[in-house]
Structure 1
Amino acid sequence: MAAGAIVNKLYCSASQVVLTVRKRPHVVNGGGFVVTDCSQKIIFRLDGCGTLGTKGELILRGADGEFLLLIRKKGSMFEALGIHRQWKGYKVDDEGAEKLVFSLKEPNSFLVKNIKVNVGHKRCNIKDWDFEIRGSFPDKSCAIVDSSGKTVAQVGVRKEAQMMMVSKDLYQVVVQPGFDQAFLCGVIAVLDNIYEESTHC
């Protein structure tokens, strides 16, 4: 899967982009997070279940509040056993029709380091995944790589956050040229919820 528009080409930059993710406490606006660029301009807002009132549902919006992604957790008859839980991200058109953008299978253990992400319904390469999260998201030390092994984004702790010891509330994401930032933030929203951070209720 080559880098390019997955959610919207407006969020694909010709140059490398450094985004800052700042979590909102549950007591402020119901949790979730905001994503800013290097000039502190808000690019995305993520509403978690504290805002929506619906567990297992997240909404990614653009800077002006425009709807970008509806993300839902899908369980199965085996969910009680901690397996086969899957997250799916959808674009929704003006008539309310949902189009699948990506799916991510929730790991059955926090010890699992690599998480696979599929884009859309169809398989377009030999591997059974399009992107993979490698490393530790809770430690804010992970990379998102495509099926060819190329790193398309890197999650890390900002230096000022390390100094203030608030690394779980402030971190940065370095996005490579051409990669869809909205898709990336949708994936980060799911990881945030899986690991019971700002969007989890």
Structure 2
Amino acid sequence: MAIVGKEYCDPEKERVLTVRKTSHFSPGDGFAAYDHRTGGLAFRADTYGRGHGGGAASPGELALLGPAGEPLLTVRRRRPSLHQRWEGFLGARAGGQKPLFSARRSSILGGGGAVVELLPSSSSSDPSSVLLRVDGSFPRRCCRVVMPPRGEGEKEKVVAEIRRKVDVSARVVMGRDVFVLRVSPGFDAAFAMGIVLVLDQIAGDEAGVDAGEDVLDAIAKI
């Protein structure tokens, strides 16, 4: 399912990324994602709200960039918004451009879940949108992105999953600043990273989250 581009979809193999939060001043300040197969940088993300520069996004917006710094997605908060609604645009957002997707917290009462709506493009023959569901808790780094059935007889499908990073050799579970993003075959890895940016903005590292049970579960699986 190519959303940002076919080059970010592997039709046969799951793509695994190690995602590292590179700044801690506020949610979304920076991420770097590395491909498990090559070890190389696959994506990075920055906010330009405090004059970071780069030209890929306006002040206050988040930009998902490729390894060479090419803009892939631009994410911004929709205002006014009562339920933390965010919008994503293809490439470097231009004036008048329609959003590619929108996202919001699944409940105004809190929690790590969210709903992501993939909006139809002007060139699409299908006027309907696609609703993706994020189950679980992003602050705990334990959630998955679920796509509903797209045809008769199909079942819902997990297209991406976020889990705690485990150092198998040392039998150590990494902190929440480093986690794993698993992208199912055929799903767009760049779009999956765009969802990570939105989840970080919506849920962030919510105060009071106790990840102890998640750590024990991860250790048990080593």
**1:157–1:172 CA contact under 8 A, matched in 2:** yes
The size of the alignment, in residue pairs, is: 182
**2:165–2:174 CA contact under 8 A, matched in 1:** no
- Root-mean-square deviation (Å): 2.7
**Matching residue of 1:138:** 139
Is structure 2 residue 182 aligned with structure 1 residue 174?
yes
For residue 54 of structure 1, report the CA deviation from its aligned partner. Answer: 3.2
What TM-score comes out, normalization by structure 1 length?
0.79
**Matching residue of 2:6:** 9
1:81-96 alignment to 2 at 5 Å?
A: 83-92=82-91
Query: Aligned match of 1:58 in 56, 59, 62?
Result: 62
**Matching residue of 1:160:** 167
Letter paired with 2:68: D
Query: Aligned match of 1:189 in 164, 178, 197?
Result: 197
Of stretches 164-173 and 32-41 in structure 1, the one that deviates more from structure 2 is 164-173
For residue 86 of structure 1, report the CA deviation from its aligned partner. Answer: 1.0
Q: For the residues of structure 1 that align with 2:136 and 2:179, how far apart are their CA atoms? A: 15
Question: Which structure has the larger Rg?
Answer: 2
Of stretches 153-162 and 175-184 in structure 1, the one that deviates more from structure 2 is 153-162
Q: For the residues of structure 1 that align with 2:172 and 2:29, how far apart are their CA atoms? A: 21
Identity %: 32
Paired residue secondary structure (1:98): coil
**1:104–1:117 CA contact under 8 A, matched in 2:** yes
Task: Please list every run of 5 or more consecutive structure 1 residues that lacks an aligned counterpart in the other structure.
Answer: none
Letter paired with 1:103: S
What TM-score comes out, normalization by structure 2 length?
0.72
For residue 11 of structure 1, report the CA deviation from its aligned partner. Answer: 0.3
**2:166–2:173 CA contact under 8 A, matched in 1:** no
For residue 108 of structure 1, report the CA deviation from its aligned partner. Answer: 2.3
